[in-house]
Structure 1
Amino acid sequence: MHHSNNSQDFDTADKLYFEELSYERVMDIYELESATGVVVSVGGQLPQNIALRLQEEGKAKVLGTDPQDIDKAEDRHKFSQILDSIGVDQPAWKELTSVSDAEAFADEVGYPVLVRPSYVLSGAAMSVIASQAELKDKLESASAVSPDHPVVITKFIEGAQEIDVDAVASKGELILHAVSEHVENAGVHSGDATLVLPPVNLDAQVMARVKEIAQKVAKAWSITGPFNMQIIKADVGGDEPALKVIECNLRASRSFPFVSKVLGVNFIDAATKALADKNVPAPRDLMAEKRDYLATKVPQFSWTRLAGADPFLGVEMSSTGEIACFGKDLIEAYWASLQSTMNFRMPEPGEGILLGGSTELPELPKIVEYLEPLGYKFLAASQDVKKHLAKSGTSIEVIEFPKTDKNELRKVFQKYNIRGVFNLAKSRGKTLVDEDYVMRRNAVDFGVPLFMEPKTALLFAQCMNAKLPRTEGIPPEVRSWSEFAGGKMM
Structure 2
Amino acid sequence: MAENRDEFQSAMWAIGLDIPRGSFARSLDDAEKVYEQLGLPLIIRPSFTLGGVGGSVVYNREEFQERVQWGIARSPIGEILIEEALVGWKEFELEVMRDCADQCVVICSIENMDPLGVHTGDSITVAPQQTLTDKEYQRMRDAAFKVIRQIGVETGGSNIQFGVHPDTGRMVIIEMNPRVSRSSALASKATGFPIARIAAKLALGYRLDEIPNAITRKTTACFEPALDYVVVKIPRWTFEKFPMVDQVLGSQMKSVGEVMAIGRTFPEALQKALRSLELGRMGLGMDGRDAIDVEKIEPHLLGEWRRMIQSKLSKPHSENLFFLRHALKLSLEVKDVARITGIDPWFIDQIERIVDFEKRLRALANGRHSKLLDLRKTVSASLLWEAKRLGFSDHQLATLLRCEITTIRKLRDIHDIQPSYLPVDTCAGEFEAFTPYFYSSYDTGDDRKIDSQEESVIVLGSGPNRIGQGIEFDYCCVHASLTLREEGYRSVMVNCNPETVSTDYDISSALYFEPITLEDILAICEVEDPDGVIVQFGGQTPLKIAEALTHEGINVLGTPPQSIADAEDREKFGAILSANNLPTPPFGIVFNFSEAEEVADEVGFPILVRPSFVLGGRAMEIVYDSEGLRKYLRESAGEVTPEHPVLIDRYIENAFEFDVDAVSDGNETVICGILQHIEEAGVHSGDSACVIPPYALSDDVREKILSMTRKLASLFHVVGLMNVQFAYRDDQLYILEMNPRASRTIPFVSKATGVNWVRVATRCILGQTLRDMGIHENLDLPIVAVKEVVFPFSRFEGINPFLGPEMRSTGEVMGIGKTISEAYSKALYAAGTYLPSPDEGGTVFISINELDRLRMLPIARKLTELGFSIIATEGTQKFLNNNGVEAEFVFKVEEGRPNIIDRMKDGQVRMLINTPLGRTSYYDERVVGELAYRMNLTLITTLSAAEAALGAIERIGQHDLEPITLQEIR
What is the match of residue 601 of structure 2?
A: 107
What is residue 479 of structure 1 aligned with on the other side?
964
Deviates more, 1:156-165 or 1:102-111: 102-111
Q: Does 1:395 align with 2:883?
A: no
Q: CA deviation at 1:343?
A: 5.5
Question: Does residue 314 in structure 1 map to residue 804 in structure 2?
Answer: yes
Deviations 1:355-374 (CA, angstroms, capped at 9, x unpaired): 22424313332321121012
Contact 1:90 1:246 (C-alpha < 8 Å) held by counterparts: yes
The code of the aligned residue for 1:469 comes to: G
For the residues of structure 2 that align with 1:297 and 1:406, how far apart are their CA atoms?
39
Pair 1:98 & 2:592 matched = yes
In 1, Cα distance between equivalents of 2:924 and 2:713 = 48
- For residue 286 of structure 1, give the secondary structure of its aligned residue in structure 2: coil
In structure 2, the CA distance between the partners of 1:408 and 1:244, relative to structure 1 (3 Å rule), is closer
Deviation string for 1:37-79 (max 9, x for gaps)?
110000001211211110112x111111111222222222222
1:351 aligns with 2:351: no
SS in structure 2 of the partner of residue 377 of structure 1? strand
2-side partners of 1:62 and 1:11: how far apart? 23
Correspondence for 1:174 among 652, 656, 669: 669
Deviations 1:317-342 (A, max 9, x none): 01111111112221221122112212
Secondary structure in 1 aligned to 2:789? strand
Q: Using the alignment, how far apart are the partners of 2:580 and 2:540 within structure 1? A: 25
Contact 2:785 2:817 in 1 (8 A): yes
Q: Hey, what does 1:61 align to over in structure 2?
A: 555
Structure 1 residue 190 corresponds to structure 2 residue 679 = no
Match of 1:369, SS? helix
Cα pair 1:179 1:197 within 8 Å, conserved:
yes
- Match in the other structure for 1:238: none
Residue equivalent to 2:296:
none
Measured in 2, the distance between the counterparts of 1:84 and 1:401 equals 48
What is the CA-CA distance between 1:198 and the residue it aligns to?
Answer: 1.1
- Does the CA-based 8 Å contact 1:174-1:283 persist in structure 2? no
Q: Please list, as runs of the form range in 1=range in 2, the aligned pairs for 1:279-318 lying within 5 A after superposition.
A: 280=770, 281-282=773-774, 284-287=776-779, 290-318=780-808
Deviations along 1:70-126, one digit per CA (max 9) or x if unpaired, are 222222222222222332111111111233422122222321011112243351111
**Structure 1 match to 2:621:** 127
Confirm whether residue 452 of structure 1 aligns to residue 968 of structure 2: no
Contact preservation (8 Å) 1:65, 1:224: yes
The alpha-carbon deviation at position 416 of structure 1 amounts to 5.1
Assess if the C-alpha contact under 8 Å between 2:671 and 2:706 holds in 1: no
Aligned to 1:339: 829
Read off the aligned partner of 1:454 and give its amino acid letter: L
Q: How much has 1:181 moved relative to structure 2?
A: 1.3
1:443 aligns with 2:937: no
In the alignment, does 2:723 pair up with 1:228? yes
Match of 2:913 among 422, 427, 433: 422
Deviation, 1:220, is 1.1
Q: State the secondary structure of the residue aligned to 2:858.
A: helix
Structure 1 SS opposite 2:786:
strand
The separation in 2 between residues aligned to 1:156 and 1:301, in whole angstroms, is: 24
Mapping of 1:405-420 within 5 angstroms? 412-415=903-906, 417-420=908-911
CA–CA separation in structure 2 for the residues paired with 1:234 and 1:408 = 38
* Cα distance in 2 for residues equivalent to 1:203 and 1:409: 41
* Whole-angstrom CA distance in 2 between matches of 1:261 and 1:10: 32
Partner deviation per Cα, 1:160-219 (whole Å, 9 max, x = no partner): 211111111112421343211112211111111121111121111111111111211111
Aligned residue runs from structure 1 range 22-101, under 5 A: 22-57=517-552, 59-101=553-595
Over the aligned positions, Cα root-mean-square deviation in angstroms equals: 3.1
Contiguous gaps of at least 5 residues in structure 1: 236-240
- TM-score, length-scaled by structure 2: 0.45
Native 8 Å contact 1:310 1:441 kept in 2:
yes
Q: Percent identity at matched positions?
A: 31
Mapped contact 2:726–2:733 kept (Cα < 8 A): yes
Provide the C-alpha distance between the structure 1 equivalents of 2:859 and 2:279, rounded to a whole number of angstroms: 40
AA at the equivalent of 2:910: R
Q: Which stretch of structure 1 is more off in the superposition, 47-56 or 354-363?
A: 354-363
The 3 A distance-change label for structure 1 pair 296 and 230 is same
Per-residue CA distance 1:267-307 (angstroms, 9 max, x = gap): 101101011114652452222xx333221111111211221
Amino acid at match of 2:967: S
**Aligned residue identity for 1:135:** L
| 1:264 aligned residue | 754
The structure 2 residue matched to 1:375, chosen from 856, 864, 867, is 867
Q: Distance in 1 between matches of 2:243 and 2:782?
A: 44
What CA distance in whole angstroms lies between the structure 2 residues aligned with 1:379 and 1:293? 36
What is the distance in 2 between the residues matched to 1:448 and 1:420? 6
Change (3 A) 1:10 1:455: farther
Query: Partner amino acid for 2:696?
Result: N
Asked if the contact 1:225–1:271 (Cα under 8 Å) also holds between the matched residues in 2, the reply is yes
Which is further off, 91-100 or 412-421? Answer: 412-421
SS where residue 114 of structure 1 aligns?
strand
The whole-number CA distance in structure 2 between the counterparts of 1:409 and 1:158 is 29
State whether residues 423 and 439 of structure 1, in contact with CA within 8 Å, keep that contact through their aligned partners in structure 2: no
Paired residues of 2:539 and 2:742 also in contact (CA < 8 A): yes
Partner SS for 2:910:
strand
Summarize the Cα distance change of 1:416–1:446 in structure 2 as closer, same or farther, 3 Å threshold. Answer: closer
Question: Cα deviation per residue 1:221-251 (whole Å; 9 max; x = unaligned)?
Answer: 111111111111121xxxxx22221111111
Q: 1:218 aligns with which of 704, 708, 713?
A: 713
- Structure 2: how far apart are the matches of 1:334 and 1:192? 15
- Structure 2 vs 1, CA of residues 153 and 343 (structure 1 numbering), >3 Å: closer, same or farther? closer
Aligned counterparts of 2:891 and 2:650: Cα–Cα separation in 1 = 41
Distance 1:403 1:482, change over 3 A: farther
Whole-angstrom distance in 1 between the partners of 2:643 and 2:525:
34
SS at 1:418 equivalent:
coil
Change (3 A) 1:418 1:213: same
How far apart are 1:345 and its partner, in Å? Answer: 5.2
Q: Which residue of 1 aligns with 2:498?
A: none
**Alignment partners' CA distance in 2, 1:191 and 1:120:** 13
Q: Which moved more, 1:399-408 or 1:363-372?
A: 399-408
Q: Which moved more, 1:442-451 or 1:414-423?
A: 414-423
Q: Which residue number corresponds to residue 467 of structure 1?
A: 955
Distance 2:883 2:571 in 1: 51
2:858 paired residue number: 366
Q: CA deviation at 1:315?
A: 0.4
Provide the rounded CA distance (Å) in 2 between the counterparts of 1:68 and 1:30: 21
Pair 1:244 & 2:244 matched: no
Is the contact between residue 298 and residue 338 of structure 1 (CA under 8 Å) also seen in structure 2? yes
Secondary structure, aligned partner of 1:188: coil
User: CA distance change for structure 1 residues 11 and 132 in 2, over 3 Å: closer, same or farther?
Assistant: farther
Which residue identity lines up with residue 558 of structure 2 in the other structure? Answer: G
**CA 1:411–1:208 in 2, change beyond 3 Å: closer, same or farther?**
closer
Rounded Cα–Cα distance in structure 2 between residues aligned with 1:429 and 1:304: 24
CA distance in 1, matches of 2:601, 2:705: 31
Cα contact 2:536–2:740 (8 A) shared by 1: yes
| 3-state SS, counterpart of residue 596 of structure 2 | helix
**SS of the counterpart of 2:534?**
coil
Give 1 or 2 for the bigger CA radius of gyration. Answer: 2
Q: Which amino acid counterpart does residue 955 of structure 2 have in structure 1?
A: K
Please list the CA deviations of residues 13-41 of structure 1 after superposition, one character each: whole Å capped at 9, or x if unmatched. 77x999x9611222222222232211000
Alpha-carbon distance in structure 2 between the residues aligned to 1:10 and 1:150:
19
Change (3 A) 1:429 1:482: farther
| Between 388-397 and 193-202, the greater mean CA deviation after superposition | 388-397
Structure 2 CA distance for partners of 1:297 and 1:428, relative to 1, 3 Å: farther
Deviation at 1:391, TM superposition (A): 1.7
